[in-house]
Structure 1
């Protein structure tokens, strides 16, 4: 059975790969770290680190132990932080991102309610582009994001929380294009027009959001890329291509040179709350609850009617 210090010493050393830096982080002597690791290796029955005068590295056994222990350690930390926060009240700076105007609309009002419920918390709101979303979450620049679930491309590095919006998909096309006169479009129709993609998004994500081939196997042409929504709409309005989006885009991004045509055969556009399990905190869990509660109570009525 590992003692807490043995666990912290092993995981910290496996990250730092340096005995002195590990000792400084844990506020003990390098000798104690060395003794603790040797004791742990004797208990397990094999070497966890390769040590030379120039470097320290994990052995395959050490790599496996780190992989198995790390999720449980984060869970223990989160549990202690939650209990502490509940005992003292939640105090934090929470940075919340969103990728579309309808998401921002809800997040702004959720932040107001959250501040009333938890005066010790500060909520900072940030609009992020599709291309920067994953990196912002992974680096800790933002703590929580309301965005389309496809944005992380199935990456298990992140937690996908409750779905907040589930809306029909539409195709935003130039108003002069023949597809704009249709009552609906199908995925097969995407072979007729270049698809404009958000800049900086991995191919794995684009393949989910945009698709590469129609059901019959015809290629779906890729058009230019756009850094953000306004650039995307300008390119569409100029006849450079089209892009799939949510039906609420017609309310928030209406303009005379862009038409929004419903898909007849695509799954809904889902947006969920997404965060990193490494930075899971009581403040995040409380904000998730606030957003979910607000979205449920309003049932989408915060979206302006046409």
Structure 2
């Protein structure tokens, strides 16, 4: 029995539908039917019960499926390993993230990536809030999923993975905490907690200096860490824009997250050094996007 025929048999045993099996394997239904008939002639028994309404495995078919699956998966794994070595996807791939939901997605993608490329270890690290690109430039990580914008000559902008509504983080006792939503104009006269370290264009995108009507938004204390920023907000030192997802991932009894209706969305995208676009990076990006497509919307 040829390997392709085994693949057809196992896929049909899973799908129990000739057309779906053909579509999944990119062959014609006739090819699926021919392969099954060939197998049944060799074995001397029917493997499937076929009616106009259903396809079922026979007892012989169930036994063959159980016996073949383990060996077939081992063959697939061996081929995948050889392919990974041949394509250079071995060694260590280092991936960075900023927010908790980005980290969770990377963990899921890393599990899938390791299955495809068992010769490649994936290491995951949280990126410091104050240093957006230092780890990329130093070679400490190969790619990262962090807040945009990224406007650096030596760094590639990859796909946007998340585009979230913004929220305003305020103390639980703040007057705005009683509102269902706020607008940028409501920031007039309220200090914003600021971040030390990121490029000015990044700070301007996240921490506006004026409302749409031109009223000043003062600067509050500066920090280099997100958890410290939350503590400063809770202490009444200012407020801080963030993603609406923060309400779930960084919930605290002394904080409230209020939807910021007229602010542009906050985007989280992939980036990597222009000189470091390896086969492993390209494949991990594809794997991560596949994992993101399977997520339940926030």
TM-score when normalising by structure 2: 0.69
Contact preservation (8 Å) 1:85, 1:282: no
- Tell me if 1:212 matches 2:205: no
Measured in 2, the distance between the counterparts of 1:130 and 1:182 equals 29
How big is the shift at 1:207?
A: 0.7
2:98 aligned partner = 99
- Tell me if 1:196 matches 2:193: yes
Q: How does 1:162-173 map to 2 (within 5 A)?
A: 162-173=159-170
1:254 aligned partner = 251
How big is the shift at 1:92?
A: 2.9
Given candidates 269, 272, 275, the residue that maps to 2:272 is 275
How big is the shift at 1:216?
A: 1.3
Contact preservation (8 Å) 2:84, 2:119: no
Deviations 1:109-168 (A, max 9, x none): 111111111011111100012212211122222110001112x3x223321111111111
- Larger of the two Rg values belongs to structure: 2
Measured in 2, the distance between the counterparts of 1:131 and 1:92 equals 29
Secondary structure of the structure 2 residue equivalent to 1:131: coil
User: How many residues matched?
Assistant: 216
Decide whether aligned partners of structure 1 residues 219 and 279 sit closer, same or farther in structure 2, where only a CA change above 3 A counts.
same
Measured in 1, the distance between the counterparts of 2:133 and 2:107 equals 21
How big is the shift at 1:88?
A: 4.2
Gaps of 5+ in 1: 1-83
Measured in 1, the distance between the counterparts of 2:291 and 2:285 equals 10
Measured in 2, the distance between the counterparts of 1:195 and 1:140 equals 33
Secondary structure of the structure 2 residue equivalent to 1:279: coil
How big is the shift at 1:89?
A: 4.8
Higher helix share: 1
How big is the shift at 1:86?
A: 7.6
Poorly superposed stretches of 4+, deviation over 3 Å: 84-89
2:54 aligned partner = none
How big is the shift at 1:85?
A: 6.7
How big is the shift at 1:200?
A: 1.4
Contact preservation (8 Å) 1:184, 1:264: yes
Secondary structure of the structure 1 residue equivalent to 2:209: coil
Superposition RMSD on alpha carbons, in Å?
Answer: 1.7
1:142 aligned partner = 141
Given candidates 268, 277, 290, the residue that maps to 2:287 is 290
1:114 aligned partner = 113
Secondary structure of the structure 1 residue equivalent to 2:275: helix
Q: How does 1:221-260 map to 2 (within 5 A)?
A: 221-260=218-257
Deviations 1:156-185 (A, max 9, x none): 332111111111100001111111111111
Which deviates further from its counterpart, 274-283 or 199-208?
199-208
Given candidates 149, 152, 156, the residue that maps to 2:153 is 156
How big is the shift at 1:242?
A: 0.8
1:125 aligned partner = 124
Measured in 1, the distance between the counterparts of 2:87 and 2:221 equals 51
Contact preservation (8 Å) 1:90, 1:120: yes
Gaps of 5+ in 2: 1-82
Contact preservation (8 Å) 2:172, 2:256: yes
